[in-house]
């Protein structure tokens, strides 16, 4: 999928990566896509909190570009294709490419539950150089109709690509907010339509507006304890890019699962649904 990955990566590298005001929640409050923090308090909006054991960058120093995945002191390097959301809202996207310290058994368990190469639909392989949370945050953004949502705290995610030209992108996210919160997240996504049919992610990490048009997902399957689904079209006018996507979310016990398939052609729904069922089966 060169136009989705390569073009948007080039755009991301054109600017320093810091959370923009368009994505930040009110001062002292979690972003709207964030579950209750698991390991750390929420940083005020606009503050780039460093992970435990990592020295914060001096004032005026730009954060690392989105595709830089260098491990910081005290933070283990991420396994190939694995990304973890920061434990607190407001953490720079540059830190999202590292797994949490080894004393976080929940994140370790969730990482192990992500679909492996042989468990994803045929032909999909983990992407070893993901663009941080550029795509993994889309489920939270859709559920919040674009109002400042980021990847929920404690979420682990992995991206998979298929095709000689990386023609399709599959994104899986796993979080463990508890059974009630997982069901609430499904309910929130299920209720986004018809009140919200479109929103725009303002230029921030990527110096280009990204538009989202939402619609119903016909004949969406019931998965897990509760599930919801949405179809969407993402457009980036300055890049002349239009991508079709479908999103499935499910509560499985105390785990919240999302699986999303994006393609410039029509997404292969059977593969998305098979991936969602496999993802839920691994955490059920």
CA-CA distance, 169 to 234, in Å (whole number)?
Answer: 13
Is there a contact between 88 and 29 (Cβ–Cβ < 8 Å)?
no
Cα angle at 137 between 64 and 174, to 5 degrees?
Answer: 110
CA-CA distance, 78 to 55, in Å (whole number)?
Answer: 19
Task: Encode the chain (284 residues) as per-residue pLDDT tens digits.
Answer: 456 766 566 556 654 344 333 333 333 333 445 554 333 333 333 333 333 443 444 444 343 333 323 333 333 334 445 555 544 333 333 333 334 445 689 999 999 999 998 999 999 989 866 656 889 999 999 999 998 778 888 899 999 999 876 589 999 999 999 999 999 999 999 999 999 999 999 887 677 889 999 999 999 999 999 999 999 999 999 888 899 999 999 999 999 999 999 999 999 999 999 999 999 999 98
């Amino acid at each position: 999928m060169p136009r989705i990955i390569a073009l948007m990566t080039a755009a991301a590298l054109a600017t320093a990566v810091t959370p923009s005001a368009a994505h930040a929640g009110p001062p002292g409050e979690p972003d709207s896509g964030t579950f209750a923090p698991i390991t750390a308090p929420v940083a005020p909006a606009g503050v780039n909190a460093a992970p435990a054991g990592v020295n914060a960058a001096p004032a005026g120093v730009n954060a690392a570009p989105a595709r830089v995945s260098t491990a910081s002191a005290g933070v283990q390097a991420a396994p190939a294709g694995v990304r973890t959301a920061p434990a607190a809202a407001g953490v720079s996207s540059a830190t999202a490419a590292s797994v949490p310290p080894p004393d976080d058994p929940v994140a370790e368990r969730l990482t192990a539950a992500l679909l492996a190469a042989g468990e994803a639909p045929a032909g999909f392989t983990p992407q070893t150089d993901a663009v941080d949370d550029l795509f993994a945050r889309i489920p939270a953004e859709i559920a919040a109709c674009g109002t400042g949502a980021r990847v929920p705290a404690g979420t682990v995610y992995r991206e998979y690509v298929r095709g000689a030209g990386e023609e399709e992108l599959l994104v899986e996210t796993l979080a463990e907010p508890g059974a009630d919160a997982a069901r609430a997240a499904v309910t929130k996504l299920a209720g986004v339509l018809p009140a919200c049919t479109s929103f725009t992610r303002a230029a921030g990490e990527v110096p280009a507006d990204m538009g989202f048009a939402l619609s119903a997902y016909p004949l969406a399957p019931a998965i897990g304890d509760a599930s919801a689904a949405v179809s969407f079209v993402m457009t980036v006018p300055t890049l002349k890019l239009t991508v079709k996507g479908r999103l499935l979310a499910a509560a499985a016990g105390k785990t919240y699962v999302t699986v999303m398939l994006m393609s410039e052609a029509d997404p292969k729904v059977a593969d998305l649904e098979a991936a969602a069922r496999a993802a839920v089966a691994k955490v059920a």
